[in-house]
Each structure stands twice: as structure tokens, then as C-alpha cells.
Amino acid sequence: MLNPFSKADISFDDFQQSAKRRLPKLLFEYIDGAASDGSGEVDNREIIRKVRLKTKALINVEQRSLYHKVFRIPSKLPVGIAPMGMVQMAGVGADEALASFAAKHEIPVGVSTAASMSLEKYAEHSQGYAWFQLYYMADKVELEKLLSRVITAGYKTLIFTVDVPEVGFRPNEIQNGLTMPFKLGPKQIVDFAMHPNWSLKTLIHGAPKFGNFTDTNSFNRNASRAGADWEFLRYLRDRWPNKLVIKGVLNVDDAINMKGMGIDGIYVSSHGGRQLASAPHPIEMLPKIREALGKNVQIFYDSGLRTGEDLVKAYALGADFVFMGRPWSLAYAADNRHGIDNYIGYLCKEASVAMAMIGRTKIAQICFDDIFWNSKT
């Protein structure tokens, strides 16, 4: 089981504040940032917070389990690691730590096209629990090369992200002068100098870089991906031989069309509020998409989940499996592997308590009936 609780047990907010102290400002605000004025991420969090769970009394819940399944594969925890680009910004060794955690607890770990460790190393460290995340690529030759690497490395699930036709407008990144690869001006040098622990480790081990591309200029995180369309999705469905998941879906009609194309999983997500502040709130779209699709397609969810109760709410609202993104990075930034272990320990204990309160002993039992519906919900 995960690390037992100790006097160091802390909440997401504490991890967030610790990470803020440890990381250079431009890196913390990249990890924790959101699009435009940040209201999309904040509002979605507030809606999640206001969702009420229906308590039930006098039900024997002594034997509770957080074990679950994703694509019928057993998972020891009810939460996966969402794909995140440049995780090494959180600290040296972050990629290896997340992949190893996934292997230990048999949970999926998303490997971003923009990951700071190669997809081959992720496959090795995760012992087969890695899912590769793909962005649209107009160059079919380069796309085929990448897909061939993914297949050769043994990946069984491909996540295609569709909510980045253009990179979201993130004022903090512009103000802080964040570029990849790093370009250091006076402002950045002062920022790094004020955070010597992160800076010295990075100086020794090397600055974060795109692990899937040997040429630093061969991948541009800010490039337009506006050419992605339904024809490309049909091509990808025909080309990819295994499970195909579409990430960034917030439209019921889109989800229905994707299901009709034989997509294996619909991933409801707002990119953590990093793309469009005015997008529909993903936690509100989750039950609508579940109702429209029925039970014949897997539905995954991330965006705004911070606590164990949040996980239970997402399952109750229709998710088959849930993921988190920035909490993993902030936990690592706060205290490396210990941070991850402690944060997930906190998360899972709270989820187990919430399950007891609503009379559930297994994740698979959680359903719509566990939501306390009222006129304000």
C-alpha cells in the first residue's frame, strides 16, 4: 500500500505553495497556469467543490477497495497520470519518478509528444503502463516515423489531443518570457538565481528538453495545429491498430461522432483550463456526454480534480477512469518522489473515507445515484 500518513500529511494547497517556493517563477506559473484570466480553471474547480455526495447510513463498508480497471486491465489506484509536456520542469528525475510510480501501482501514465523523456524510456520505466499522447502533425512522413516508434515500443493505447488547434493564450508565459528551449535574459537569470536548489540540480543534469526529438527545432510546442480535422481522425483510426482515445472533448455531438467512428475512449478535458477560459466546464459536460454515449464506450476525465472527494464525484458523474495532471507535477516539485507518495496517500485515504460515507466499497459501484441533486447542483 502507499506510504502511511504521518505528521507531514498535507493538502493539495500545501503542495502547491511548497512548489511555488521551490520553483523559479516562470516554471511554477507554467505548471500551475491557465488560459486568459484563469477563470475557466477556477470556475470548474468551484463547480466541482459545490457538487454534493449523497450520504448513506448503516451500510457495512468495512471491506473497501480502491482497485479499479481501465480497458479491463486491473489498476491498483483509481487515478492515472495525465499526459504532460516537459514534466522535468518540476525537477530533475520527474519523468522517471512518474513512470516508476505508474509501474508500481499499475496505473496508466500519459506520455506527451512534448515529454522531457523519450517514449521508449517511458515504456521501459512504466513496464508497459504508458499511453502515448499525440498532437496533430501535418507532416505525414514525420508522423509515420513517430507512430512506428510508438508501436515498436509496445504502446497499446494512443491518446490523440484535439483541443489544441492553437496553443491557448497564457499571459503569464508571455510576461515571464518562457520559451522552449530556454532563452535566458536578465529577468530569467535573476529568477533562477533566487531558486538555487532547482537551478543547481538542473545545471548539473541539463536543462529540460523535448525527449522525443533529437533536434530541438524539430518540435515546436507553439506551432499551429489548426489543420486537424475529421479526415485526419479517420486516417488515424485506420492507421492505429490498438486502443484510440480522443482527449479534449467538451461537445456532445463531437463525442457521438467519435463513437460512431470506432473510437475506444472519449477523454473529457479542458486541458486543465489551459486552452480557453470560456470553454464549457468539463465537470458539467461529463454527465451529458455519458448520457449521450451510454455504456458502450469508455469515458475518461481530467481537469480540476484535487482531492479524494473530487475523484469520487467524477466517477459518480460518469467517468470510467479519471486522471490528474498538474497535481502530480506540483507534488514532485514540492518534495520529489516523497511528494508524490504523500500526496497520493492523502488523496486515496480521502477517497476511501468518501466511499464509506456514501455506502460504497468499490469504485465500480459509484454512480449517478451517489450525487445529491438539488436545484443548485
Element (H, E) at 265: strand 265-268
Q: In this structure, how many other beta carbons lie within 10 angstroms of the beta carbon of residue 188?
A: 18
Q: Which string of b and e fits 127-139 if b means at least 16 CB within 10 Å?
A: eebbbbbbbbbee
User: 119: burial class by Cβ within 10 Å (0-12, 13-18, 19+)?
Assistant: buried
Residues 65 and 93: their CA atoms lie apart, in Å, by 31
Residues 57 and 253: their CA atoms lie apart, in Å, by 39
Please tell me which residue in 68, 105, 125, 271 is annotated as part of the active site.
271
Give φ, ψ of 53 to 5 degrees.
-100, 140
Name, in order, each residue with C-beta under 8 angstroms of 42's C-beta and a sequence gap of 6 or more: 34, 273
Is residue 282 within 8 Å of 44, Cβ to Cβ?
yes
Is residue 199 within 8 Å of 272, Cβ to Cβ?
no
User: 214: burial class by Cβ within 10 Å (0-12, 13-18, 19+)?
Assistant: exposed
- Copy the grid coordinates of residue 111: 506520455
Residues 309 and 78: their CA atoms lie apart, in Å, by 12
Element (H, E) at 348: helix 326-357
User: Is 105 a catalytic site residue?
Assistant: no
Strand, coil or helix: what is 112? coil
Relative to beta strand 321-324, strand 79-81 is parallel
Q: Which amino acid is at 93?
A: G
Q: In this structure, how many other beta carbons lie within 10 angstroms of the beta carbon of residue 275?
A: 24
Residues 261 and 246: their CA atoms lie apart, in Å, by 11
Annotated catalytic residues are 271
